Homo-oligomer: A and B are copies of this chain.
Amino acid sequence: MDDTKQSLKVVRLGIDTYKEAVIYIRKDSYICQAEGFEAQARIRVRFEDTYIIATLNTIESDILQVGQAGLSEYAINLLGVKEGNEIYLSHPEPLQSLRKVRAKIYGNQLSDDDFAEIINDVVAGRLSDIHISSFLTTCAGDRLSREEILGLTKSMISVGARIAWPDQLVVDKHCVGGLPGNKTSLIVVPIVAAFGLTIPKTSSRAITSAAGTADAMETLAPVDLSFSKMQGVVEKEGGCVVWGGSVLLSPADDILIRVEQALDLDGEGQLVASVLSKKVAAGSNHVVIDIPIGITAKVRDFEQADVIKDYLITTGEKLGLRVCVVYTDGCQPVGNGIGPALSARDVLAVLQSDKDAPQDLRDRALDLAGHVLEFSARLQAGAGRQMAEKILNDGQAWHKFQAICAAQGGMREPPEAKFTHTVESKVAGEIKAIDNRRIARVGKLAGAPQDKAAGVYLHEKVHAKVEMGQPLFTVHAGSKGELEYALDFVASDGELIVIKEA
Which residues of chain A have a CB within 8 Å of any CB of chain B? 1-2, 4-5, 12-18, 20, 24, 27, 30, 33-36, 38-40, 42, 57-63, 72-73, 91, 94, 98, 101-102, 105-107, 128-131, 133-134, 136-138, 140-142, 258-259, 262-265, 444-445, 447-451, 479, 481-482, 484-485, 488-489, 492
Contacts of A489 in B (CB 8 A): 1
Contact call B134/A265, Cβ cutoff below 8 A: yes
Contact call B133/A130, Cβ cutoff below 8 A: yes
Specify which of A4, A72, A450 lies most central, judged by the most chain B CB atoms within 10 Å of its CB: A450
Beyond A14-B61, A34-B482, 9 additional pairs, beta carbon < 8 A: A13-B63, A14-B60, A15-B59, A16-B60, A17-B39, A34-B485, A102-B264, A106-B141, A134-B265
Contacts of A40 in B (CB 8 A): 17-18, 20, 258, 262
Contact call A262/B16, Cβ cutoff below 8 A: no
Contacts of A36 in B (CB 8 A): 444-445, 447-450
Contact of A61 among B1, B13, B133, B447 (CB under 8 A): B13
In whole angstroms, how far apart are the Cα atoms of A98 and B4 in the complex? 41
Contact of A481 among B5, B107, B448, B488 (CB under 8 A): B5
Nearest chain B CB to A40 CB, angstrom units: 4
Q: Please tell me how many copies of the chain the complex holds.
A: 2
Nearest chain B CB to A58 CB, angstrom units: 4
Contact of A259 among B130, B141, B444 (CB under 8 A): B130
In whole angstroms, how far apart are the Cα atoms of A264 and B130 in the complex? 11
Contacts of A20 in B (CB 8 A): 40
Contact call A263/B57, Cβ cutoff below 8 A: no
Contacts of A264 in B (CB 8 A): 94, 98, 102
Specify which of A24, A129, A263 lies most central, judged by the most chain B CB atoms within 10 Å of its CB: A263
Nearest chain B CB to A304 CB, angstrom units: 11
Contact call A38/B18, Cβ cutoff below 8 A: yes
Specify which of A34, A58, A264, A485 lies most central, judged by the most chain B CB atoms within 10 Å of its CB: A34
Contact call B134/A263, Cβ cutoff below 8 A: yes
Whether A57 touches B137, Cβ cut-off 8 Å, given contacts A2-B488, A482-B34, is no
In whole angstroms, how far apart are the Cα atoms of A259 and B129 in the complex? 11
In whole angstroms, how far apart are the Cα atoms of A38 and B445 in the complex? 13
In whole angstroms, how far apart are the Cα atoms of A258 and B40 in the complex? 8
Contacts of A129 in B (CB 8 A): 129-130, 133
Contact of A137 among B42, B63, B105, B447 (CB under 8 A): B105
Across the interface, name the chain B residue whose C-beta is closest to A11.
B61
Contact call A34/B134, Cβ cutoff below 8 A: no
A-B contact pairs, 14 of them (CB 8 A): A5-B481, A5-B484, A13-B59, A18-B39, A34-B447, A36-B445, A63-B63, A91-B445, A102-B264, A105-B137, A130-B130, A130-B262, A133-B133, A137-B138
Contact of A17 among B5, B33, B57 (CB under 8 A): B57
Contact call A39/B16, Cβ cutoff below 8 A: yes
Contacts of A27 in B (CB 8 A): 16
Contacts of A137 in B (CB 8 A): 105, 133-134, 137-138
In whole angstroms, how far apart are the Cα atoms of A98 and B263 in the complex? 8
Nearest chain B CB to A307 CB, angstrom units: 12
